[in-house]
A and B are shown apart, each in its own frame.
Chain A
């Protein structure tokens, strides 16, 4: 019995050390700024949660939406996240806020596999708790024990950064050192790279599209069911993307969403209405919007959310004074970068 206790104590010490080392060894990502920054929002202050990948944080400016309609939102997003990862991200985000609407991005469902590092980006900045264990045991990921352990103790994944560790690593990932995110997860980018197929990518109406694997549409259904059980509206959103979208995908999603009773908004068929011009509104040839495109889309979404959901205008509510300050600094940022409103 004494020996069993010794072993348990030793293993506990090991776990504690790995837990302490994890935030030191893992890199500092933009998702720390987004995900940990999100936890600094006042409680019960976010009305709309945008969950997704880089399309979201490049293409939707929550401060712009607030400016136009007083609706508060946040871009809870991580690069290259699939809908499976977004489901877990959403659940995590909903432990801090109770929004009235969740808007989930759609991009991976027909195409790419989530890179291992991208999964770590979204999950490692979050605490080790029941939700994380639920993610680690999600059968959609087929994690083996080794992989599972790297999410419980990211130190095991990023141990090879040992030769890069500096004094900064001991503090960079601590939540108390992450600043309040005045852009609400939005990544302000003024680069312009025109798309070569902006006018034609939605023209081909002869192709068909199908999901690459069941886990992803199933994750959307789970997310919808979770929102329904918590009285949260759920909207599926296809962001403008000339490289990954097509008319076939629009048709597939439209019919699938209808079959499953899910509200669906495809911005790729509303480009004129939104005012998107792929000569000026993308930072990388049509994959992601820049601040110019994001401004237009955010205004459109501001209008869409106001007319489709019962959301309050908080512009005169003193509880949301910090948002008004955020608008001022955002306007200054626009001015400093010669971006017209």
Chain B
């Protein structure tokens, strides 16, 4: 079922109404049924893979709980016996953890990365293993990470496993999250999911407003600028249209992804459910590091908690830290995190797609991070020498501009067909422009519309950055003003949105992962 479809809108409206009519004890079942309808209608028998993930993590969780509850008492053992017993116990738990992770990761690797691995195998060994054409289950890259975080948290004793497999299924398959995330954590989302929520008109209305806002960003801006982006990236134009395409791709991916998150958050809020935030006005970031704490926040957090931290305290990294700790320079500081950071960015890259392009995309940010650390002392010296003030607006503006420029280059790498192709594409900036910007599929009115919408988004983001809740502010106004705002929102979407006959508005960039 597509997010941009009447069926999806009907699903969330009807199920939210039924949710509030149901008795408290059974409200979560309404959500589960909505999940099933959503998932099976779009995936058919491929839904069995999701079912497989639910079953494996359920069993893994229950086994870990059982092991923990039957944990032997090490109190009366001598040191050697205790050491062996503890190790044996830990190994048992580790085995369950690894088996569960491999079962889930294995499905993801086979379905998503099979052809990538086959191409590497064929290149190295000069074989001719045929490529497969598996259909990816919707949301597999997202729910697999959620599954892994669930079992890892149980292993680490953060919480006990869910005893009710249907409730666990509800968590892993919560339908608004299946297209583009966010990647939720069981202990945060489950509380909100299982607890019955009472109907609140203002909250319901605000949720609808957020959903409309999300669709506006996707259908009015993202899909519109996507026309030019696709045109320029698929052809060999030069000059200003290349710069325009690079910038507008950033606009496209941001408004689409954040628009989708608004829809997801809004749909969840219809049921009174709070999902984790995935964007925090990323273009106010003053560094790449900050950018990735504001963009696709839940992926960054997942990588931090399940890759970066475990690797930071791994034996290998501890050895590195021990060796470099006697030095106190920028290189030694870098080396304490270089290895886990490398794995994080490699994982980030490969998560996005099964090709070397995505790996190199991840490595691009790794290099930027490393350079950031290495060049920081030089940067500090330059600032001191030039007597630049760093706590003023102009300096922060420079930092934001610099970050946005680096991100734009990164996004160009992401969008291009190949890594080398991206540099060739950017090189075309210096070629004589072969096309006018008005020959790219967008008219002057389209550009004006996008510009106005971006100004509106900027104002709302700025207000958000200043801690002002725009929806709450609107709620405080008089009814006529509120109605006008709501009507402007609705009719902006209905008039300017790229939906309906002749448009394929349903595809989401991040929905392909």
Total B residues in contact with A, Cβ cutoff 8 Å: 21
A-binding segment of B43-51, B188-196, B317-325, B482-490: B482-490
CA distance A302 to B497 in the complex (A): 51
Q: Which of A144-190 contact B (CB under 8 A)?
A: 144-146, 149-150, 155-157, 159-160, 162-163
* Interface size of A as a range: 20 to 34
Q: Which of A1-20 contact B (CB under 8 A)?
A: 3, 6, 10, 13-14, 17-18
Question: A269 to nearest B CB, angstroms?
Answer: 39
Chain B residues near A18 (CB-CB < 8 A): 494
Known: A144-B6, A163-B443, A163-B445. A14 touches B496 (CB 8 A): no
Contact (Cβ within 8 A) A146 B6? yes
Q: Which of A234-284 contact B (CB under 8 A)?
A: none
CB 8 Å contact bits of A126-160 with B (1 = contact, 0 = none): 00000000000000000011100110000111011
Contact (Cβ within 8 A) B500 A3? no
Contact (Cβ within 8 A) A160 B486? no
Known: A156-B494, A163-B445. A145 touches B10 (CB 8 A): yes
Question: B125 to nearest A CB, angstroms?
Answer: 51
Contact (Cβ within 8 A) A13 B445? no
Most chain A beta-carbon neighbours within 10 Å: one of B6, B490, B500: B500
Contact (Cβ within 8 A) B497 A159? yes
Question: A305 to nearest B CB, angstroms?
Answer: 40
Q: Kindly report which residue of chain B lies nearest to residue A144, judged by CB atoms.
A: B6
Q: Kindly report which residue of chain A lies nearest to residue B500, judged by CB atoms.
A: A157
Question: A118 to nearest B CB, angstroms?
Answer: 12
Q: Kindly report which residue of chain A lies nearest to residue B5, judged by CB atoms.
A: A146
Instruction: Judge if A207 is at the interface, Cβ distance under 8 Å.
Output: no
| Contact with A159, one of B201, B486, B495 (Cβ below 8 angstroms) | B495
CA distance A144 to B6 in the complex (A): 9
Instruction: Judge if B430 is at the interface, Cβ distance under 8 Å.
Output: no
Contact (Cβ within 8 A) B487 A17? yes
In the complex, the number of residue pairs spanning A and B with C-beta atoms less than 8 Å apart equals 40
Q: Which of B228-287 contact A (CB under 8 A)?
A: none
CA distance A156 to B503 in the complex (A): 13
Q: Kindly report which residue of chain A lies nearest to residue B199, judged by CB atoms.
A: A3
Chain A residues near B491 (CB-CB < 8 A): 17
Instruction: Judge if B68 is at the interface, Cβ distance under 8 Å.
Output: no
Question: B194 to nearest A CB, angstroms?
Answer: 27
Contact (Cβ within 8 A) B498 A160? yes
Interface majority SS (helix, strand, loop, mixed), chain A:
helix
Contact (Cβ within 8 A) A159 B487? no
Question: B289 to nearest A CB, angstroms?
Answer: 42
Instruction: Judge if B206 is at the interface, Cβ distance under 8 Å.
Output: no
Instruction: Judge if A206 is at the interface, Cβ distance under 8 Å.
Output: no
Question: B41 to nearest A CB, angstroms?
Answer: 13
Contact (Cβ within 8 A) A13 B10? no
Contact (Cβ within 8 A) A159 B494? yes
CA distance A156 to B495 in the complex (A): 8
Instruction: Judge if B393 is at the interface, Cβ distance under 8 Å.
Output: no
CA distance A3 to B205 in the complex (A): 10
Chain A residues near B114 (CB-CB < 8 A): none
Q: Which of B442-464 contact A (CB under 8 A)?
A: 443, 445-446
Instruction: Judge if A116 is at the interface, Cβ distance under 8 Å.
Output: yes
Instruction: Judge if B501 is at the interface, Cβ distance under 8 Å.
Output: yes
* 23 residue pairs A–B, Cβ–Cβ below 8 Å: A3-B201, A6-B479, A10-B483, A17-B491, A18-B494, A144-B6, A145-B10, A146-B6, A146-B500, A149-B6, A150-B500, A156-B494, A157-B500, A157-B501, A159-B494, A159-B495, A159-B496, A159-B497, A160-B498, A162-B495, A162-B496, A163-B445, A163-B446
Interface on A for B, CB 8 Å cutoff? 3, 6, 10, 13-14, 17-18, 116-117, 144-146, 149-150, 155-157, 159-160, 162-163
Please name 20 further chain A to chain B contacts, defined as beta carbons within 8 Å, in addition to the given A149-B6, A159-B494, sorted by A numbering: A3-B201, A6-B479, A10-B483, A13-B487, A14-B487, A17-B487, A144-B6, A144-B7, A145-B10, A146-B5, A150-B500, A155-B494, A156-B494, A156-B500, A157-B501, A159-B495, A159-B496, A159-B497, A162-B495, A162-B496
